[in-house]
C-alpha cells in the first residue's frame, strides 16, 4: 500500500472482482489511513440477506444495495467533514459505479483514490472455495460457482485513463 496517511477525509475506493481480497485489503488500508471501512457484504448480511427471496432475485438485491449505499454516502459525507478518511469496499464492479463515487467525492470537497486488487481468476476461485469452507473474518455469504461466474462477466477492469484520473494503484496479491 502506498497511501499518504496524512491525507485526511479522502475516499478510498477498493475495486476488484469476486475473491480478489478486497475486504482483507480494505481492513489493512483502513488501519493504515486511520479511516472507517464500509463493506457492502457486511451491510447486506446484517440488514437484508436473512429476508432475501430464494433463489436470490437480482432486482431485489440491487434495490437493497442502493439503500445501503445511500446511507453509506451520508456517513461518508459526515466523516469527510471531520477529516476522517473512508475506505469503501463496495465491489465497484463497473467503471460507471466507480465514476459515481468519484463524482460524489468531488461533490463533498474531497478526492477519491482507486485501489484495484488484481488477482487471476483461478486463484480467486480457490480463495472463494476456501472462504466458503472456513467462514473466516471476511466471509459474508456463500458464493457458488454460478454467482462467481455471473460477477466475473460483469467485472470491468479500470482502464489506464481511469487509473490516472483516480490516482489508481494496482495491488497484486
CB-CB contact of 92 with 105 (8 Å): no
The whole model's pTM is what? 0.84
**Interval 63-102: pLDDT, tens:** 999 999 999 999 999 999 999 999 999 989 999 999 999 9
Reference 164, options 93, 102, 120; nearest CA is 102
**Interval 110-158: pLDDT, tens:** 999 999 999 998 999 999 899 888 888 777 777 888 888 888 889 999 9
Question: Rounded distance, CA 9 to CA 77, Å?
Answer: 9
For 11-171, which CATH superfamily applies? P-loop containing nucleotide triphosphate hydrolases (3.40.50.300)
Domain ranges of the chain: 11-171
Q: Compute φ and ψ for 164, nearest 5 degrees.
A: -65, -45
Residues in Cβ contact with 123 at an 8 Å cutoff, skipping those fewer than 6 apart: 19
Amino acid at each position: 500500500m502506498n497511501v499518504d496517511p496524512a491525507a485526511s477525509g479522502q475516499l478510498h475506493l477498493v475495486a476488484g472482482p469476486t475473491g480478489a481480497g478486497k475486504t482483507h485489503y480494505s481492513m489493512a488500508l483502513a488501519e493504515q489511513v486511520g479511516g472507517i471501512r464500509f463493506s457492502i457484504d457486511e451491510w447486506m448480511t446484517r440488514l437484508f440477506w436473512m429476508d432475501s427471496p430464494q433463489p436470490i432475485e437480482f432486482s431485489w438485491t440491487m434495490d437493497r444495495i442502493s439503500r445501503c449505499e445511500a446511507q453509506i454516502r451520508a456517513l461518508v459525507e459526515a466523516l469527510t467533514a471531520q477529516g476522517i478518511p473512508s475506505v469503501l469496499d463496495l465491489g465497484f464492479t463497473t467503471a460507471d459505479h466507480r465514476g459515481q463515487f468519484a463524482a460524489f467525492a468531488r461533490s463533498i470537497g474531497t478526492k477519491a483514490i482507486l485501489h484495484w486488487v488484481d488477482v487471476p481468476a483461478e486463484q480467486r476461485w480457490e480463495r472463494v472455495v476456501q472462504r466458503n469452507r472456513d467462514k473466516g473474518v471476511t466471509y459474508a455469504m456463500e458464493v457458488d460457482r454460478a454467482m462467481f461466474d455471473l460477477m466475473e462477466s460483469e467485472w470491468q477492469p479500470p482502464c489506464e485513463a481511469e487509473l490516472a484520473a483516480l490516482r489508481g494503484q494496482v495491488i497484486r496479491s
